[in-house]
Homo-oligomer: A and B are copies of this chain.
């Protein structure tokens, strides 16, 4: 058997930055480590070509009567910049205390190896385990998974398992594990407002022209009520409100609104619909202006009426909201409110479905209707309490992992998102690290889940 820490180091030594073609060798090297490892585990390995970075599939096959677990991970990593802020080189894995440092060690190479190691050990201990397993390891997660939908389509039949198991989310603390039971969806768009055919002198023309910046700020300002609610007719129609037990889970978190405020540095939090901050970042849909620009941005002033201006907007959607429906409603509100003295152009951006799953016993849910998933949740809950000392919290997350919604949409599968690591992991930042002290605990939980599903 292999030592998972040594494999993680080998994976991190291969710089697999998906966004930069200069790292093609590191991408190939990382795939090679994985395919050799999977072959050694006697899995059937398939490298699926895509327009950018191949997907690695590795299967433990068996009769159709066996349950089938899909394990998701990604082998690509974020760029290492800024390099001078690293205390040890980004692609030279370095142990300090119980933490291993290096780009990708926590996102997602270490957490991915939790499940790879669990499967390897389980199959060694129980060669006859009645369980089908498919690893789905992509190389484009950090660039938005552009190829994954076509692989889900082309290989859909072989991926139609019972549920997906993955670790690509974080926990509130080292001993408090969180099972992520929801992700916000997303709709992105860009508004461009244009008026005069060129920047005009504000002395020569001011007073007779609808300034595109005035129109743009009026449109943007109109999208919220003063109480913080989104002012788009029908925006909240399909929102599923959090259940009382969900609010209780949040209340058990080791930190609350004051810590949230402090960590962001704002004078005060601001939420809609009487939510606490900790609730709002998980259960409220949002409409955020991510960027705005127009006219003169240099030093001092320039007395112009600018020709045009833009705003970039994204909405985060919560369970049951539909991106297409929300996009239509937001577009309609903007179109209706744009003054006729300027021209409006709205560009569609990408979108992603929100996703949620409810663990068994909380209500009549997919997890109850899917016996394998229900067993997995239950085993996970017990193993987390045994290994980490506290039962897991079930929390929806505020972020979006579009592939989770995509897998749910295309394959109809729910996910168990087992958190591995904490904010201290510095994902996407210099000095990314992974606490190897949690590795064996995670492996034990993963094994317990797989054993339970196999009814062993």
Q: Which residues of A contact B (CB under 8 A)?
A: 184, 186, 188, 190, 195-198, 200-211, 213-214, 216-218, 220-222, 224, 257, 260, 264-272, 275, 277-278, 280-286, 288-297, 300-306, 309, 311-312, 314, 316, 339-343, 349-350, 397-400
A198: B residues at CB distance < 8 A: 265
Q: How far is the CA of A281 from the CA of B303 in the complex (A)?
A: 14
A221: B residues at CB distance < 8 A: 214, 217-218, 220-222
Q: How far is the CA of A267 from the CA of B338 in the complex (A)?
A: 13
A218: B residues at CB distance < 8 A: 217, 221, 224
Known contacts A213-B292, A291-B302, then 18 further A-B pairs from the complex at CB < 8 Å, ordered by chain A residue: A186-B303, A197-B264, A197-B265, A200-B264, A202-B286, A204-B281, A206-B316, A209-B266, A213-B290, A216-B292, A217-B218, A221-B222, A268-B340, A291-B295, A292-B292, A292-B294, A301-B350, A303-B400
Closest beta carbon of chain B to A404's beta carbon, Å: 13
Asked, given contacts A265-B197, A295-B312, whether A272 binds B342 with beta carbons under 8 Å apart, the answer is no
Asked, given contacts A293-B297, A301-B290, whether A281 binds B207 with beta carbons under 8 Å apart, the answer is yes
Closest beta carbon of chain B to A227's beta carbon, Å: 11
A269: B residues at CB distance < 8 A: 208-209, 341
For A290, give its contact among B224, B271, B295, B400 (CB under 8 Å).
B295
The reply to whether A304 and B280 contact each other, CB–CB distance below 8 Å, is no
Asked, given contacts A218-B221, A301-B349, A400-B203, whether A208 binds B270 with beta carbons under 8 Å apart, the answer is yes
Query: Across the two chains, which residue of chain B brings its CB closest to A302?
Result: B290
A265: B residues at CB distance < 8 A: 196-198
Q: How far is the CA of A213 from the CA of B292 in the complex (A)?
A: 8
Query: Across the two chains, which residue of chain B brings its CB closest to A286?
Result: B206
The reply to whether A264 and B196 contact each other, CB–CB distance below 8 Å, is yes
Q: How far is the CA of A265 from the CA of B305 in the complex (A)?
A: 13
The reply to whether B291 and A203 contact each other, CB–CB distance below 8 Å, is no
- Which 6 pairs across A and B sit closest by C-beta, in order of nearness? A197-B265, A203-B399, A291-B295, A207-B280, A221-B221, A208-B277
Closest beta carbon of chain B to A146's beta carbon, Å: 12
Closest beta carbon of chain B to A164's beta carbon, Å: 20
For A206, give its contact among B281, B296, B301 (CB under 8 Å).
B281
Query: Across the two chains, which residue of chain B brings its CB closest to A269?
Result: B208
Q: How far is the CA of A301 from the CA of B351 in the complex (A)?
A: 11
Asked, given contacts A217-B292, A218-B221, whether A267 binds B340 with beta carbons under 8 Å apart, the answer is yes
A203: B residues at CB distance < 8 A: 184, 316, 397-400
The reply to whether B296 and A264 contact each other, CB–CB distance below 8 Å, is no
Asked, given contacts A267-B342, A312-B296, whether A204 binds B399 with beta carbons under 8 Å apart, the answer is yes
The reply to whether A208 and B305 contact each other, CB–CB distance below 8 Å, is no
Asked, given contacts A269-B341, A281-B207, A349-B301, whether A314 binds B264 with beta carbons under 8 Å apart, the answer is no
